[in-house]
Amino acid sequence: MSEREALVHGHCEPRFEAVRSAFEENFRERGELGAAVAVVVDGTTVVDLWGGWADAARTRSWARDTLVNVWSTSKGPVALCAHLLADRGLVDLDAPVAAYWPEFAAAGKEKVLVRHLLSHRAGLSGLREPHSLAQLCDWELTTRRLAATEPWWEPGTRSGYHALTYGHLVGEVVRRVSGLLPGAFLRREVTGPLGIDFGFGLPAEDAGRVAELVQPPVRRSDEQAAVLAQLAPAAVAALTNPAVGAAGANSPEWRAAEIPAANGHGTARAVAALYGILAGGGAHGGPPLLSASAVERVREGQGSCRDLVIGAGFAHETEAGLGLWLSGPNGSYGPNPRAFGHDGFGGSCGLSDPEAGVSLGYTMNRMGPHIADDPRKTALIDALYGAL
């Protein structure tokens, strides 16, 4: 066994040895620095592996309880909060957002529905006015600006990935209805009772076990300008207002804030557990949190299209459900087109497949250049389904 393979620790049932092999190959062949992967099948954890380094200097080993920022893999837990409220009859997904958040009706948004927020169809992929990272960390300011702004396109007509605004939009509905920010609501209703090691932002007491994110090589400024020039204004706003990378996400300000679209911190085991609630018919290691109909609603397709923000990155059209993306013809979450999940900027992933009774969580710290479908994630999913 090579030195890099020796850095891999944890448990893997013999049937899923191919997942371990793919995980080890990620270190040998795909430039992995530090990472973890967990797989749950029918409520049982069959893979729980971790390895590599928690920092760029390779001074800290990745441990069983290492936390890392998972970027947009956080959006699944945000959506879960909204679906819990909907399942209790406290939120109507077909009601106008303004029914819960009256200020949101400004600038022609009075007919935007809650389902439009969940499916990236609200037309609010980014703000029109300049919005800094420090301002993004200010919940009240960000939600106030979102309520006042005009949509980039007619809401409900197509998706445009709400990269950084998603968590504030869905999360403010959660706050208006429950009285709690989504992080506190998730902790009270899900992660606290189930002992799931995940939250939006990072408590100060956990600073010693968080992995350092490492940015992929950046394009030259002229190349970056050429790429941006080809994007629609809605995409530029989504991806650059503000522009956030590893340095920003490693900062104390980012970690102290609540940015539910992008600053969830957790272990792969925690991601697999959260997505496992949806794969397990609404339950994971306890009584059901969601009804079967509510779980099915999460993957209710809202229409496939070439997404206005991330469409150029896929060979096929993509389709969002009500909070997560369908595997579809891309096979982003395995061969079942009705499996669903979410990727995080740079590589991380959460996957749910109710038909197979499977969930997967993958976390890492060396970011790749992909918004979705990183080759390391794809290798793990291919190995998983080859073993089922």
Q: Per-residue confidence at 40, pLDDT binned at 50, 70, 90?
A: very high
* Length reported for the chain: 388
- pLDDT of residue 209 exceeding 80, the answer is yes
The mean per-residue pLDDT over the stretch 244-264 comes to 97
Active site residues: 72
Q: Per-residue confidence at 314, pLDDT binned at 50, 70, 90?
A: confident
User: Are 121 and 155 contacting, i.e. CB atoms less than 8 angstroms apart?
Assistant: yes
> What local confidence, expressed as pLDDT, does residue 223 receive?
62
- pLDDT of residue 231 exceeding 80, the answer is no
Reported as a single tens digit per residue, the pLDDT across 85-143 is: 999 999 999 999 999 999 999 999 999 999 999 999 999 999 999 999 999 999 999 99
Q: Per-residue confidence at 241, pLDDT binned at 50, 70, 90?
A: very high
Q: Per-residue confidence at 316, pLDDT binned at 50, 70, 90?
A: confident
Q: Per-residue confidence at 220, pLDDT binned at 50, 70, 90?
A: low
CA dihedral of 266, 239, 182, 80, whole degrees rounded to 10: -70
Q: Per-residue confidence at 4, pLDDT binned at 50, 70, 90?
A: very low
- pLDDT of residue 229 exceeding 60, the answer is no
- pLDDT of residue 194 exceeding 90, the answer is yes
Q: Which helix (H) or strand (E) holds 168?
A: helix 166-178
Distance CA 142, CA 209 (A): 29
Q: What is the pTM of this model?
A: 0.96
The mean per-residue pLDDT over the stretch 228-244 comes to 85
Distance CA 65, CA 268 (A): 9
DSSP 217: P
The mean per-residue pLDDT over the stretch 255-271 comes to 98
* Mean pLDDT of the residues in the chain: 94
CA dihedral of 227, 228, 234, 238, whole degrees rounded to 10: 90
Q: From edge to edge, which strands make up the β-sheet containing 340-343? A: 9-12, 44-52, 34-41, 358-364, 349-353, 340-343, 325-326
Strand, coil or helix: what is 103?
helix
- In the block, residue with structure tokens 């394009």: 219
> What local confidence, expressed as pLDDT, does residue 1 receive?
36
Which two three-digit tokens encode residue 283?
A: 């339950």
φ and ψ at residue 18, rounded to 5 degrees: -65, -30
Distance CA 43, CA 283 (A): 9
The mean per-residue pLDDT over the stretch 248-270 comes to 98
> What local confidence, expressed as pLDDT, does residue 371 receive?
80
CA dihedral of 266, 85, 160, 354, whole degrees rounded to 10: 70
User: Are 118 and 94 contacting, i.e. CB atoms less than 8 angstroms apart?
Assistant: no
User: Are 119 and 302 contacting, i.e. CB atoms less than 8 angstroms apart?
Assistant: yes
Residues 6 or more apart in contact with residue 84 via CB below 8 angstroms: 185, 189, 190, 289, 290
The mean per-residue pLDDT over the stretch 359-382 comes to 95
Type of residue numbered 29: E
DSSP 216: P
φ and ψ at residue 163, rounded to 5 degrees: -60, -50
